[in-house]
Homo-oligomer: A and B are copies of this chain.
Amino acid sequence: MLMIMVSQPKVPERTVPRSLLYIRILGDLLNTGHEFVSSRELADLTGLQDSQIRKDISNFGAVGKPRVGYPVRALKELLEDRVYSKADPVVLFGVGHLGKAIARYPEFQSDRIHIAAAFDTDARKVGGTVGGIRVYSLAEAKRVVRRLGAEIGINAVPKAAAQEVVDLMVEMGIRGIINFSPVHVAVPAGITVRNIDLTIEFMTLLCDM
């Protein structure tokens, strides 16, 4: 059995993305002047069960007021405190159509995700910018990543180059990878990978219908 290191009080894996959703909604509620919100209202806004929401929130502590609901600002701050890591710079590998769309994705600005540099092998792209992000050659990547202290990388290169680029990423100190390539990439222990596979998302939708 492997040793699993948990430094923080453990929260169920699936409450994490839900909590990020709550944070976003609480931000909207705050902007529209709401002071309190009930689990029932959050359920309507998210499509989840109210009991689910109470359970999720109770993982982090008790801030709700019976009869009134949760104070929006305090709840948002509580969740942010427990769930956010510090916003590290992110680097992007591959400035094809998908990479470009990611670089320009408007929500990242408002959600503390900062893409600090991009890398591509295409000499015509190197030296330019995309969505305000400077594009470097792959040869420069190691140096740039070290300088930025980036630990998160987005893999948006073509399928055939995916494993090779992921190996490079690991070598230069990247510890978390969002992989958009529709292949399983192997990484050493201690490196976290999240796969976003558009084809499988589509197919799953077809199967769910």
Which A residues fall within an 8 A CB radius of B?
16-17, 20-21, 24-25, 45-47, 83-85, 87-88, 90, 97-98, 100-102, 104-108, 111, 113, 151-152, 158-159, 175-178, 182, 184, 186, 192, 194, 196-209
> Do residues B102 and A206 form an inter-chain contact, with CB atoms below 8 A?
no
Q: Which residue of B lies closest to A131 (CB)?
A: B97
C-alpha gap A100/B96 in the complex (Å) = 11
Which among B83, B106, B206 is the interface contact of A88 at CB below 8 angstroms?
B206
Whether A85 touches B209, Cβ cut-off 8 Å, given contacts A46-B184, A184-B46, is yes
Listed by A's residue number, 26 A-B pairs whose Cβ atoms lie within 8 Å are A16-B208, A17-B200, A17-B203, A20-B200, A20-B203, A20-B207, A21-B184, A24-B182, A24-B199, A85-B209, A87-B206, A97-B105, A98-B105, A101-B101, A106-B158, A108-B198, A108-B199, A111-B199, A113-B203, A152-B206, A175-B209, A176-B205, A177-B205, A178-B201, A194-B204, A196-B196
